[in-house]
Copies of this chain bind each other. A is one copy, B any other.
């Protein structure tokens, strides 16, 4: 099997390393907009060499892991250049705009829109690990639009990588992600900003911060080049989720202003259910 990774960062690199474990005889090539990433990916044994123009014609699988604002253009271009048996898989965090953009492409059946629910706040090939996707969920959108033979290839790869599959349409995907992923990032970015802004006048506030603060702002380390395009492409649902979040915070503040401590207790008690939910993530 010939595999090409387009984008060799945390996600792309981990995807290739995960596949390599289960397809030890496959050939892994790659490209990246950063020359240093290509070099690092070769040094780290993620790929054996940089992919050349003709490699795209003979590839079985092309895995595209680049910022979501670049994906539609890049994938459309590759679809024009690949052979008749090549499958292109996208793994971006938004799906509605991408699926819409590729809807009428004559080679739409050689494309699969997928989104692995895994990642962390680090980036680049050096952050890639071969077990990032083990037992994680892979959301697949519009599988019926992909050629059945190529569907099978993709499902075999995901199954070997021990991933759990969930099928949904691009709109449902984007809505769910606004709540369970994109909102978490905004809440964390703005928590970080609120505390950092305070720190400008008040030195040394940070050695007072404990593990609770650390956990809550972990995502604030995430890369704006990845996240701004996601917020942009998922604008409608992100604004919906963010508005509900702000409204909940306003109600919390109102309760506090009105000394309604029973109200706060009820809110928090109901939210403690998140325990069971988090346990659910691990099952």
Contacts and interface: CB of A to CB of B under 8 A. Distances in A.
A42 interface: no
A83 B223 CA distance: 58
B194 A244 contact: yes
Interface string A182-215: 0111111111111111110010011111111111
A232 B268 CA distance: 14
A210 B118 contact: yes
Interface string A235-272: 10011011111101110110011010100110111111
Interface stretch (A30-38, A56-64, A155-163, A274-282): A274-282
A196 B273 contact: yes
Given A209-B277, A210-B117, A220-B271, A191 B252 contact: no
A24 interface: no
A164 B207 contact: yes
A166 interface: yes
Contacts of A278: 214, 217-218, 221
A15 to B, nearest CB: 15
A106 interface: no
B176 A183 contact: no
Contacts of A108: none
Contact of A269 (B184, B190, B224, B250): B224
Nearest to A238: B256
22 contacts: A118-B210, A118-B211, A120-B211, A166-B207, A166-B208, A180-B195, A181-B213, A183-B194, A184-B191, A187-B249, A193-B271, A209-B277, A212-B219, A221-B275, A222-B268, A224-B264, A224-B272, A227-B268, A239-B253, A242-B249, A242-B252, A246-B249
